[in-house]
Structure 1
Amino acid sequence: MLHSASRGLAAALLVATVAAAGGCAGDDLATGPLPASPTVPAIATGTDEPVPTAHPTPTAASRSTAAPHPDATPSPSSEAAPTPAPVQESTEVSTPAPAQESTAAPTATPMPAPRQARLAFTGDLLSHSPVFRQAQANGNDDLDFDYRPMFEPVRATLSDADLAICHLETPLSPDNRNLSGYPLFNAPGDLASAIAEVGYDGCSTASNHSLDQGTGGIIATLNLFDEADLGHAGMARTPQEAATPTLYEVNGITIGHLSYTYGLNGLILPDDQTWAVNVISTDDILAEARAAIGAGADFVVLSIQWGAEYRVAPTEQQRALAKELLAGDEIDLIVGTHAHVIQPVEFIGGNYVIYGLGNFLSNQSPQSCRSCPLESADGVIVQVDLVEGESGDIRVASIGAVPTWVDRRTFTIIDVGAALAGNSFPELTSQLEQSLARTSSTLRSYGVDVWVATSGTPDAG
């Protein structure tokens, strides 16, 4: 995460379009206003938890034995090569055998298989108070707040991806205490363990709620991520960590991951800690992308919080910023969040933009939030398949989607296609069918042939 003092014009226009309230309501029709723009206190020193100087490069949980890139050069060993034993001279004279001519054709060196990987992205993990109360009801000896049952129907899909990335919308409590929902979130720290166990490898963390618990909340959240062996991008504990690109090694492909947000709901970072959360700036985003490429990234993904809440169509500011960011060669894929509804996929200048992933886990619905539409209960696992081209470049081969829907009775994330195929939630059939139709129509509305998993199988229709 690299920062500069400049802020691009497109970013300024983007902030102006976002709903002024900073949304994410869903706590039993909570509608209270946000506090007036306080300044967040500086990171405290002398804490029991040591602050690392840089975040280690995370490693994806799923590995493959695919052949390495043909141009790859093996790393030199740090151990000195052993000294060969001296050659012993023989005093026995021997007559060499006559050379035999071979009639066999020379064996061609097989070409290595092209590198491939499947990436999976999901939308907001937004732990409103009803959500964490259900996690507490699920609690057991392992976790006081157990979110894992909520992910059970989608666990296999997340785990099967070579790299699965979530969007964590809120800070986490280091001890599961002082919990809160909207408007200033503080989710149970046990959520980090669940995120790792259900198949995620890391998360984007820059959001309009990043500062809800001050810079101390940033430290607590990232410490919990480290303990769970999760990667993260978008927030930082130190300037060194902020300047270190987040990289994932997946099947011989190095993925760079960036995360930025449009703003902080009026909260203000300390002047000497503006690096703690990535706020949208075209210059900063492109600079960090170049740093990731310089560190070895073959493919760079930007996770970005933008747009207007509950609006299915991307704003003109979103589309203009996407074109600006994709005008060069730095960014290969843009994955958006914040609108709390699914938005379309667009192909711009040779690259894909997934404008909005919607909610993945939240309490938002028309029954819990006066401003929340039906679409706020829809979610999706977007699957991006990468393949190596003949020149060694990594490109997107296809984009697919597994539609999901949150059952607010238990906050279970339902795989919509699988549920309809197996009739596993017959009482929800109508709602699931409507959700599937909304998701499929929205994702494809800009003409991109996104395959959608319906009836348990991919459907490219």
Structure 2
Amino acid sequence: MYAKPHCPSLVKVFLVVVIAIELALVGFLAFGQPSEGKEGAAAGSGSNEPAATQPTADPQPAAPAEGEGAGEGEGGEPAPEPVTLTISFAGDCTLGASPKSDPDYSFNGVYEQEGEDASYFLKNVADLFGADDLTVVNLEGTLTESKESADKDYPFKGSPAYAKVLSGSGVDAATLANDHSLDYREQGYNDTIETLDADGVSTFGFGRIAYRDVKGVKVALVGACALPDNPAEDYTKEMTDNIAQAKAEGAQLVVVYANWGIEKDYVPQESDMRLGRAAIDAGADVVVGSHPHVVQGWEVYKGRYIVYSLGNFCYGGNSNPKDKDCLIFQETFTVTGTEVAPATENDVKFIACSVSSSSKRNNYQPTLAEDEDAERILAKVQESTDKIAEMAANLGSE
């Protein structure tokens, strides 16, 4: 028999070590890489075992679903909130008199009789003007000490102290774009601007745009003077250029106050209607007018109101005008950023007034009309408005 071979003890140790190494290598190959690399292997393996969770970079925000992000404007800025503001408009204010006026019954005479109390004149409407956000009138005449008048029948002048009639009663701005601003030539015109500016009343017209910050809204006030001896293309271009300038300078709401029409006519001319529409087409949000010394109606054009004549108001030009009816027009605007919402009938008020609290003469104290008087005045305005609608239909067919 052959004896079983014997390995020396050192050889046995060597063989054990080799076998152990081989077993370790087999285990390594069978189970893959160390645990920190398992995530990638498990992700595509089809195994039901979950992959190991590993720390990742900060997650990116998910894209907003449709409808999310409302209330944001361009560049992620918050969208502008709507702002509502109310503007009141009144007609011709002549704070003074002409050299032909009877001193006892003139504006100047009443001022003295009332103890030089400037608040007397607008006290019956001061609460209304104080409750709105902006009040605008047409100032026909000058506030100056100049004695050099223009060569005309009725140059109007008042003391610079009369500025308190406006500033002390809630009036914030006055257009000077009319046929009486130069009654005392350039000196009177410049004095009027300086006097009203010093009292906080903004002036505008003849290429001068006034800007008012009203509840955070930039409001531009543009004056237009459409007189028969001026070519229509000239005053239309000046007006539309001013509107464009106001828009370029960041105006969010553009107001146009126009001096136009024929005195004592209760219906506007077609040329007035074209001018009003040109203002809206150029970007104006409302157009109001005066000069005829009587009330006229209104129309809505492209969602904007055009009110053709508010009539006289605190009017020192006549101590006893035959027609004392006048209007205050109020509109509440909703402004969102640079957008102004179209006006509705709920946004406007036509407030019937008289130029005087006395029916016998003009005491230069505008007063709200009541009851039958108010109904009569508004019926007169409606009659004019109906005729304007007929004219508008003809304009639209041209």
TM-score when normalising by structure 2: 0.67
Alignment of 1:133 with 2:97, yes or no, is no
Letter in 2 for 1:352: Y
Q: Which residue of 1 aligns with 2:295?
A: 342
CA distances 1:153-187 after superposition (whole Å, capped 9, x unpaired): 11000111101011101011148x88999611112
CA distances 1:348-398 after superposition (whole Å, capped 9, x unpaired): 232210000100012567x84xxx5x43x1122111110136984344342
CA distances 1:17-59 after superposition (whole Å, capped 9, x unpaired): xxxxxxxxxxxxxxxxxxxxxxxxxxxxxxxxxxxxxxxxxxx
Alignment counterpart, residue 266 of structure 2, candidates 299, 303, 312: 312
Counterparts of 1:148-227 in structure 2 under 5 Å? 148-174=119-145, 183-227=154-198
Q: Distance in 2 between matches of 1:154 and 1:439?
A: 18
TM-score when normalising by structure 1: 0.58
Higher relative contact order (CA 8 A, sep 6+): 1
Q: Give the count of matched residue pairs.
A: 299
How many angstroms does 1:251 deviate by?
1.3
Alpha carbons of structure 1 residues 112 and 213: separation in structure 2 relative to 1, 3 Å: closer
Letter in 2 for 1:310: K
Alignment of 1:380 with 2:380, yes or no, is no
How many angstroms does 1:416 deviate by?
1.3
Q: Distance in 2 between matches of 1:442 and 1:138?
A: 33
Q: Which residue of 2 aligns with 1:446?
A: 385
Alignment counterpart, residue 89 of structure 2, candidates 121, 125, 130: 121
Alignment counterpart, residue 225 of structure 2, candidates 239, 261, 268: 261
Q: Distance in 1 between matches of 2:80 and 2:246?
A: 26
How many angstroms does 1:208 deviate by?
0.6
How many angstroms does 1:439 deviate by?
3.2
How many angstroms does 1:345 deviate by?
1.1
Alpha carbons of structure 1 residues 434 and 178: separation in structure 2 relative to 1, 3 Å: farther
Letter in 1 for 2:242: E
How many angstroms does 1:445 deviate by?
4.5
Task: Tell me the SS of whatever aligns to 1:446.
Answer: helix
Unaligned runs of 5+ in 1: 1-68, 74-108, 141-145, 236-241, 267-278, 421-432, 449-461
Contact 1:337 1:356 in 2 (8 A): yes
Contact 1:378 1:435 in 2 (8 A): no
Letter in 2 for 1:396: A
How many angstroms does 1:147 deviate by?
3.4
Q: Distance in 2 between matches of 1:286 and 1:342?
A: 25
Contact 2:329 2:349 in 1 (8 A): yes
Alpha carbons of structure 1 residues 308 and 409: separation in structure 2 relative to 1, 3 Å: closer
Q: Distance in 1 between matches of 2:141 and 2:228?
A: 11
Q: Which residue of 2 aligns with 1:46?
A: none
Superposition RMSD on alpha carbons, in Å? 3.3
Q: Which residue of 2 aligns with 1:51?
A: none
Alignment counterpart, residue 351 of structure 2, candidates 399, 402, 426: 402
Q: Which residue of 1 aligns with 2:50?
A: none
Task: Tell me the SS of whatever aligns to 2:136.
Answer: strand
How many angstroms does 1:194 deviate by?
1.8
Counterparts of 1:213-292 in structure 2 under 5 Å? 213-235=184-206, 242=207, 245-263=209-227, 281-292=235-246
- Indicate the structure with greater helix content: 2
Contact 1:254 1:297 in 2 (8 A): yes
Q: Distance in 2 between matches of 1:263 and 1:201?
A: 25
Q: Distance in 2 between matches of 1:314 and 1:198?
A: 30
Q: Distance in 2 between matches of 1:71 and 1:355?
A: 38
Contact 1:202 1:232 in 2 (8 A): yes
CA distances 1:380-426 after superposition (whole Å, capped 9, x unpaired): 21111101369843443421022211133633211113xx5xxxxxx
Q: Distance in 1 between matches of 2:229 and 2:80?
A: 50
Structure 1 segments of 4 or more deviating over 6 A?
177-181
Alignment of 1:437 with 2:376, yes or no, is yes
Q: Distance in 2 between matches of 1:293 and 1:391?
A: 9
Q: Distance in 2 between matches of 1:134 and 1:196?
A: 19
Q: Distance in 1 between matches of 2:130 and 2:191?
A: 26
Task: Tell me the SS of whatever aligns to 1:222.
Answer: helix
Q: Distance in 2 between matches of 1:387 and 1:253?
A: 10
Alpha carbons of structure 1 residues 393 and 363: separation in structure 2 relative to 1, 3 Å: closer
Unaligned runs of 5+ in 2: 1-70, 388-398
